[in-house]
């Protein structure tokens, strides 16, 4: 019997919990505490910046207090400002769009590839205008976007590329680490992310001048006396966070390999269940970071609604949730704009806002109606743990007629309960 209807769940043992820490992390934090260097002037932030950038194959790292302001800093350093257009995907966390608004630019939201949920390069091509200053591909769930196609377009039109790699620590495509392929890449260390210190973020780039600008914008506009200041912010990371990130980083490679291996296996297995379609990865993807394991669920083929499926799967003991709504349906884009006037200088007469309300990107809409998310820490488990996930899905499939008649609360969780 279905666990949703009172039967025994497939899984009663918990999956690995997140975050992972031990005495080495305690030591790292105590070391900072005892040093008395808790902020500016300490050695942990620069050490972490260098190590994280090098790990992804970039020359420079600029750490900041979160992965939203890093996007804002990068856009500002790239010279993106009021009236400029920035192309963003229709399936992402709201911060990708909000950062564009914060610099006064206009988010031009384009559709995604239905098989990967990443930005569709053809949709990007159609959206380019003389006002386009930047493209922000997001590696959704840790699955690298089609960077070859995006970089080719960007070069052809002289447009900057800012990779939003907030979910993709350690992912690799075409022999390169994500974040180091575009002109600049941004990561988040918020509590749920694959590398975390509660909060935090970093920009990585090979461009020395761009790195110097980002460093200044992050640090009150100062260039350390080398030149005149710019109008910056204080978006600095603390030494405690950098110390913790350094010790957390000792596990990143092993954890990323494990997620990738389990993610591949889970995709192979789940693909054999009718109406279940794990997202594809491009052939050039060497490593998927699997911040999220995402699969498409066909309510039509099962005769079961997405909400009911998710509730039933969660009842079987498998952590899961619905995913994003299309970005233009986020309250930020459908409100009158009165609530955030300072954030809308690029939209003087709200015409564009009305355009967001009329927007309909078929693949992003569909993703919002069919996506099931399994959080990354599930993939830190063993092969047996993966088999339990498959068994739970198979059980639901075999009982789909009973499931169609079962009663749920009617509302499944939207996010993995963890989104910031």
Instruction: From 110, 137, 134, select the one nearest 122 (Cα to Cα).
Output: 110
Contacts of ligand PLP in 47-66 (CB under 6 A): 66
Q: What is d(CA 316, CA 365) in angstroms, rounded to the nearest whole number? A: 28
Q: Which of 133, 193, 395, 411 is catalytic?
A: 193
Q: Is the C-alpha dihedral spanning 86, 87, 89, 90 positive or negative?
A: positive
244 binds ligand PLP (CB under 6 A): no
> Terminal CA-to-CA distance of the chain, rounded, Å?
36
68: which residues sit within 8 A by CB, 6+ positions away?
95, 98, 99, 188, 201
Binding residues for ligand PLP, rule CB under 6 A, total 15
138 binds ligand PLP (CB under 6 A): yes
204 binds ligand PLP (CB under 6 A): no
Category of 49 on φ-ψ map: left (φ > 0), alpha (ψ -120 to 50) or beta = alpha
Tell me if 90 sits within 8 A of 112, measured CB to CB.
Answer: yes
Task: Mark the segment that binds ligand PLP (CB under 6 A) among 56-64, 161-169, 248-256, 364-372.
Answer: 161-169
Phi, psi of 71 (to 5 degrees): -65, -45
Find the helix or strand (DSSP H, E) in which 214 lies: helix 208-218
256 binds ligand PLP (CB under 6 A): no
Instruction: Build a one-symbol-per-residue string for 271-290: x at contacts with ligand PLP by CB under 6 A, - elsewhere.
Output: --------------------
219 binds ligand PLP (CB under 6 A): no
Residues across the chain: 420
Task: Mark the segment that binds ligand PLP (CB under 6 A) among 91-99, 103-111, 123-131, 368-376.
Answer: 91-99
19 binds ligand PLP (CB under 6 A): no
Pick from 15, 32, 74, 96 the residue near ligand PLP by CB under 6 A. 96
Q: What is d(CA 31, CA 59) in angstroms, rounded to the nearest whole number? A: 27
Pick from 25, 146, 164, 239 the residue near ligand PLP by CB under 6 A. 164
241 binds ligand PLP (CB under 6 A): no
Give the side-chain half-sphere CA count within 13 A for 244: 21
93 binds ligand PLP (CB under 6 A): yes
C-alpha R_g of the chain: 22
Judged by CB, which is closer to ligand PLP: 10, or 289?
289
Distances (CA, A) of 418 to 79, 105, 328: 33, 29, 21
337 binds ligand PLP (CB under 6 A): no
Judged by CB, which is closer to ligand PLP: 67, or 375?
67
Query: Which residue has the closest beta carbon to ligand PLP?
Result: 67
Judged by CB, which is closer to ligand PLP: 67, or 179?
67
196 binds ligand PLP (CB under 6 A): no
Concerning whether 395 is annotated as a catalytic residue, the answer is: no
Residues lying near ligand PLP in the complex (CB under 6 A) are found at: 66-68, 92-93, 95-96, 138, 164, 166-167, 188, 190, 201, 420
Write out the catalytic residue numbers.
193
């Amino acid at each position: 019997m279905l666990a949703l209807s009172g039967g025994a769940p497939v899984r009663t043992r918990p999956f690995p919990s997140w975050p992972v820490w031990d005495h080495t992390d305690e030591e790292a934090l105590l070391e900072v505490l005892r040093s008395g260097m808790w902020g500016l002037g300490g050695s942990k932030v620069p050490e972490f910046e260098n190590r994280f950038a090098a790990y992804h194959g970039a020359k420079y790292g600029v750490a900041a207090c979160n992965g939203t302001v890093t996007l804002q800093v990068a856009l500002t350093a790239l010279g993106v400002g009021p009236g400029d257009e920035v192309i963003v995907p229709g399936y992402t966390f709201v911060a990708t769009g909000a950062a564009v608004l914060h610099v006064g630019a206009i988010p031009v939201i384009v559709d995604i590839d239905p098989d990967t949920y990443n930005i569709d390069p053809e949709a990007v091509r159609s959206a380019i205008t003389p006002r386009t200053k930047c493209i922000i591909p997001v590696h959704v769930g840790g699955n690298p976007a089609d960077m070859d196609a995006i970089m080719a377009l960007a070069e052809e039109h002289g447009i900057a590329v800012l990779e939003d790699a907030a979910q993709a620590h350690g992912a690799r495509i075409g022999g390169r680490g994500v974040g180091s392929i575009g002109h600049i890449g941004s990561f988040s260390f918020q509590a749920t992310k694959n590398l975390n210190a509660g909060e935090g973020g970093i920009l990585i780039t090979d461009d020395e001048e761009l790195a110097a600008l980002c460093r200044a914008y992050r640090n009150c506009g100062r260039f350390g006396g080398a030149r005149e200041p710019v109008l910056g912010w204080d978006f600095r990371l603390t030494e405690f966070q950098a110390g913790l990130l350094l010790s957390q980083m000792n596990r990143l490679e092993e954890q990323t390999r494990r997620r990738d291996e389990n993610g591949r296996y889970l995709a192979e297995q789940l693909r054999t269940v009718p109406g279940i379609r794990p997202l594809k990865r491009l052939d050039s993807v060497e490593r998927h970071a699997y911040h999220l394991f995402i699969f498409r669920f066909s309510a039509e083929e099962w005769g079961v609604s997405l909400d009911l499926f998710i509730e039933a799967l969660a009842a079987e003991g498998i952590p899961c949730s619905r995913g994003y709504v299309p970005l233009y349906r986020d309250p930020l884009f459908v409100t009158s704009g009165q609530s955030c006037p300072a954030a809308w200088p690029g939209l003087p007469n709200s015409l564009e806002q009305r355009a967001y309300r009329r927007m309909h990107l078929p693949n992003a809409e569909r993703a919002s109606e069919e996506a099931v998310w399994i959080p990354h820490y599930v993939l830190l488990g063993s092969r047996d743990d993966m088999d339990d996930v498959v068994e739970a899905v198979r059980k639901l499939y075999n009982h789909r007629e009973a499931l169609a008649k079962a009663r749920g609360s009617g509302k499944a969780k939207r996010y993995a309960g963890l989104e910031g």
